[in-house]
Amino acid sequence: MAGAIKSKTLARLVSDLEAAHGENLLSVTLYGSTARDETDAARHDVLIVLERIQLDDLRQAGDAVRNWTRGGQPMPVYFSREELERGADVFPIEFLQMEQARKVLHGTDPFEFVEISQANLRHQTEYELRTKCLQLRRLFFSATSPEQLTRLMIDSLASFAAVFRAVLILHGASPPVGKHDAVHATARVLGLDVSPFDQIFALSEKKNRLTKADAEGLFGNYLAEIQKVIDAVDQIDLTQ
């Protein structure tokens, strides 16, 4: 059931959604790292579940959503009840991320009856890792300066870290919410060299500039560790 809402920003969103959707609104859920920290200054990821979603339902929520995003908040995610129940085979990573850290702000827990299979999770995890790795290689050619290559590594690591949480689940480990912790936990479980990841995290927090040789060397080491993660997921046997 829904808990008390500490953030005025979130409370206003829920109130606006209740007015917009009425009985059609089944739940409003805060998910992700801020599910444990409802400060008004934070960016909040919100899942909205309706009994049905038609054009009029989206129109009715227009003002509420626009007011929410004008404050710098990310666009909320809308699902119908049926879509949520039947979409676990298509969005296992996304659903697990929502399920892992969440707080119900209105209505009932949307994940109470959602089941996510390990087979679907393994399939999407490998797909996401391989797709991101291919994109990383492609973007290397357009990163013509050390600064651009550094930015590419920083941006991509945040994306990989989200998938690493699914990798940990597939290996029977409880995934941390934070990016740094998820990467470190994955390195421990798979026996990776964590130093390339730590160097990239450090670059995201400081203004240090790398030479071309250093940037390319770091990129090569980073790419090698990513490939190890892909190989580990590829070798998972779910038949045992």
Give the total number of structural domains in the chain: 2
Residues 133 and 226 in one domain: yes
pLDDT reported for residue 2: 60
pTM of whole model > 0.75? no
One-letter amino acid of 195:
S
Strand intervals (E) in the chain? 25-31, 45-50, 77-80, 102-107
217 inside domain: yes
Residues 32 and 98 in one domain: yes
Residues 101 and 159 in one domain: no
Rounded Cα distance between 108 and 1, Å, is: 5
239 inside domain: no
pLDDT reported for residue 208: 73
2 inside domain: no
18: CATH: 3.30.460
Q: Which of 78, 107, 136 is the last residue of a domain?
A: 107
1 inside domain: no
Residues 81 and 122 in one domain: no
Residues 122 and 192 in one domain: yes
Burial of 109 (0-12, 13-18, 19+ CB in 10 A): middle
Residues 146 and 224 in one domain: yes
129: CATH: 1.20.120
Residues 64 and 122 in one domain: no
pLDDT reported for residue 111: 87
What are the helix and strand counts (H, E) for the chain?
10, 4
Largest CA-CA distance found in the chain, in angstroms, rounded: 60
Residue 145 belongs to domain spanning: 118-234
pLDDT reported for residue 43: 86
pLDDT reported for residue 90: 82
Burial of 4 (0-12, 13-18, 19+ CB in 10 A): exposed
Residues 91 and 156 in one domain: no
The per-residue pLDDT string of the chain (240 residues; one tens digit each, 9 = 90 and over) reads 566 777 889 999 999 999 999 999 999 999 887 777 767 667 899 999 999 999 999 999 999 999 999 989 999 999 999 998 888 778 888 887 788 778 999 999 998 878 888 888 999 999 999 999 999 999 999 999 999 999 999 999 999 998 999 999 999 888 887 889 999 999 999 999 999 999 999 998 886 789 999 999 999 999 999 999 999 999 988 765
Residues 148 and 68 in one domain: no
Residues 72 and 34 in one domain: yes
Provide the 10 A C-beta neighbour count for residue 155.
Answer: 13
